[in-house]
Amino acid sequence: MKKKKIVVGISGASGSIYAIHLLEALRKIPEIEIHGTVSDWAYENIKLETALKKNDVTALFDKYYNAHDMGANIASGSFLHDGMVIVPASMKTVASIAYGYSDNLIARSADVCLKEGRKIIMVPRETPLSTIHLENLLKLSKLGVHIIPPIPAFYNQPQSIEEIVNHTTMKILDHLEIENQLSRRWSNDK
Amino acid letter, 154: F
Tell me the C-alpha distance between 37 and 63, whole Å: 9
Strand, coil or helix: what is 90?
Answer: coil
Answer yes or no: is 27 a known binding residue. no
Answer yes or no: is 171 a known binding residue. yes
Question: Which neighbouring-strand residues pair with 34?
Answer: 6
Tell me the C-alpha distance between 156 and 111, whole Å: 36
Answer yes or no: is 64 a known binding residue. no
Answer yes or no: is 142 a known binding residue. no
Confidence at residue 188, expressed as pLDDT on a 0 to 100 scale: 66
Answer yes or no: is 3 a known binding residue. no
Specify whether domain 4-175 bears CATH 3.40.30.10.
no
Answer yes or no: is 70 a known binding residue. no
Answer yes or no: is 1 a known binding residue. no
Answer yes or no: is 141 a known binding residue. no
- Where does residue 35 rank: exposed (0-12), middle (13-18), buried (19+ CB within 10 A)? buried
Domain boundaries, given as residue ranges, for the chain: 4-175
Answer yes or no: is 93 a known binding residue. yes
Confidence at residue 155, expressed as pLDDT on a 0 to 100 scale: 87
Confidence at residue 184, expressed as pLDDT on a 0 to 100 scale: 67
Confidence at residue 104, expressed as pLDDT on a 0 to 100 scale: 97
Confidence at residue 181, expressed as pLDDT on a 0 to 100 scale: 77
Answer yes or no: is 155 a known binding residue. yes
Confidence at residue 2, expressed as pLDDT on a 0 to 100 scale: 85
Give the pLDDT means over successive 10-residue stretches in the chain (190 positions). Answer: 93 97 96 97 96 96 97 97 98 98 97 97 96 98 98 90 93 92 67
